[in-house]
Amino acid sequence: EIPRFHRSHPRMPTTVELLACNGLPGEARLFWVNGDDEVDYGVVESGSTRVQSTFKEQRWRLRCEKPSAEVECTTSDEAEQHLLLTEASCRQKPTTRLESRLAGAPAPVLADLIARLVETRLVSEEAVLTLLDAQEQGEEPR
């Protein structure tokens, strides 16, 4: 019998791997975000990484209760993507949709966004470097 979908089938969704990394002392839970609902995909222990197969354009959330932290991302075409909970995630929980999306965005997307902002002169290169320096030193940006 021929399988219903073959990997090269043009309408077959492309799978991607989401790496949910928990760098916090407490356990975290991984959720697939389906509209307003969260579907629990289980625990990601402290200091561990879980590999979750998914499809592009899917929203995922990684949440730790103690300490309180949460990150979210929407998967893209990249074969491997990261959802990372760190101490920086605890400092300030995203409060807007934009902050939440930026917190979970892949590094190349953020780099491209920052370059475009500098290129269009909406943000100065000096301001970007100051923010990056502050983050590296663990300080709050001014």
Q: What's the pLDDT score for residue 14?
A: 75
The vertex-70 CA angle with 127 and 47, nearest 5°, equals: 100
Q: What's the pLDDT score for residue 119?
A: 82
Question: Which candidate, 138, 135, 102, 95, places its Cα nearest to that of 117?
Answer: 102
pLDDT in tens, 93-136: 555 666 666 766 677 777 778 887 878 887 788 888 887 777 77
pLDDT in tens, 51-105: 998 888 888 988 888 877 788 888 877 767 777 767 666 655 555 666 666 766 6
For 123, the token pair is 């943000």
- On the question of pLDDT at 27 being above 80, the answer is yes
User: What b/e sequence results for 19-35 when a residue is b if at least 16 CB atoms lie within 10 Å of its CB, and e otherwise?
Assistant: ebbbbbeeebbbbbeee
The vertex-63 CA angle with 100 and 75, nearest 5°, equals: 55
